[in-house]
Amino acid sequence: MPPTPGKPAAALIEAYLQHLQDRACSPATRASHGALLRHLVIEGCDLSQPDTARVQQIIFSPELRPATRYAYFTWVWQFYDWMLQQGEIASHPLAALPRPSSPRQHLQPAVPPPSQPSLPLIQEFLAYLESCGRSRNTLRSYRWTLTSWCAHIGDPRAATPDTIARYLCRPNWSPVTRAHCFDQLRHFYHWLKRQGRLLADPILKLDRPKVPKSLPTRVMSAGEAEKFLAVAQADPDQPRLFTYRVMIELLYSCSLRCGELLQLTLEDYDPSLLCLKIRPAKTGRGRLVPVGRAAAALLDRYLREVRPTCKIPYLFPSPRNRKGCYSPSSLMRIVKLLREQSAIRTKASSHSFRKTSATLMLKNGAPLTTIQQLLGHGHISSTEIYTKLTPRDLFKMHAAHHPREKQKNLPLPALELPGLLFQSPNPRTRHNKLKPAPLPPEPEALECS
């Protein structure tokens, strides 16, 4: 029997692009997927009845770069995976093909396996961290650091301050990476000392690498945050956009981390007290955070009208994963899509709402200890970064509180050296050079009678 003809290629491509839009993929991603599928149709591929050999010939063309070959294979795989879920095809045509190597695999540092004597130490220390309530990302970071360190030295109990100092002075490491690795090695050697497996702690004689202080980046203004929120319409007839709006509102109102938002369950929200119970995620400490009135109203409406009735305990169940919640990459895609639609200048991420909330609350007079408790910081030094003033705030504070600036109609002193008084550059111009302002005219000479 001849095969049953499938849907036209144009209809399949259009339906798949609509599926990508529902998944909050960016317009550039949808355009790239659509261009590749149309290219397959032009090359003679039937999307409804795919020819594996022809698809392989196009994707694995020697003229393509490895990164392009990997991207094409991934996009075509996602397309046929969607068709398999829709029942358009009986089997996946790329299941028997070898997957091209990812270009990111060559960028990741290769860590040789550690020596055999150090493996039990690493496993016991990671088990100790897990018993302390550390998150999976923290355990993964400790595992990479200790594996790399033990592969470098062999037996970690034979380390000296000089070997640790030389290891931390790698030329391709930033100061933040050096300080992060130092903290993890210090924790590891303190644990060995407490366990009685080390006579002397070799890292006690070393000072922590200094980290340059910087201002918080990607912090939005109050107007940009409101413009960002206005993009996701609070309309229950559009459940996907309404869910995005509630998620962004909670990020902004409660100053949550990305992982804390995604791990929220129905039991964590108390509508009578208008608060959320944040489970231990990054720091291993839980806390209660208040929910603003606007966010609470949207959350109550979401629970009544929008959230699907399912057995998933998460507050925001994923429409694709029937047993779990949204992934961090999905939340990043949502924020990126809404940011492009809002057309704000700040390149905001999902973490920007946490930093923006803390910065604006501090500017409005909130105590630093209150912000520390809201953010869940273990040390006040982590919260003190928000007390740093930007140059614009510094100028405003100087003009408002300096005694000489508060007095009006003060004459400017005459300058003897030209070029010391400069005009302020235009902040909207990228390459604006400072130009010396014209000096005040010299006073006329008085005639002596």
Measure CA 303 to chain center. 27
Which of 257, 307, 336, 355 is flagged as catalytic?
257
Helices (H) and strands (E) in the chain, counts: 19, 3
Longest dimension (CA), the chain: 124
The question of whether 152 is a catalytic residue gets the answer no
Which residue among 377, 392, 430, 433 is the active-site one?
Answer: 377
Q: Which of 178, 245, 307, 354 is catalytic?
A: 354
Grouping H, G, I as helix, E, B as strand and the rest as coil, residue 270 is strand
Contact 240, 22 (CB under 8 A): yes
Residue pointed to by tokens 């695999």: 105
293 is catalytic: no
- Please report the sign of the dihedral spanned by the C-alpha atoms of residue 254, residue 260, residue 261, residue 265: negative
| Angle between the N-to-C axes of helices 27-42 and 66-86, in degrees from 0 to 180, rounded to the nearest 10 | 90
**b (16+ CB within 10 A) / e for 212-242:** eeeebeebbeeebbeebbebbebeeeeeebb
Please say if 65 is a catalytic residue: no
354 catalytically annotated: yes
For residue 277, the 8-state DSSP code is E
Active site residue 402: no
Q: Residues with Cβ < 8 Å from 365, sequence gap 6 or more?
A: none
The 3-state DSSP class for residue 407 equals coil
Residues in the chain: 449
Q: Is 351 a catalytic residue?
A: yes
Q: What whole-number distance in Å separates Cα of residue 332 and Cα of residue 24?
A: 10
- Taking residue 359's Cβ as centre, other Cβ atoms within 10 Å add up to 22
Given 282, 333, 336, 355, the catalytic residue: 282
Amino acid 434 reads L
Catalytic residue set? 257, 282, 351, 354, 377, 386
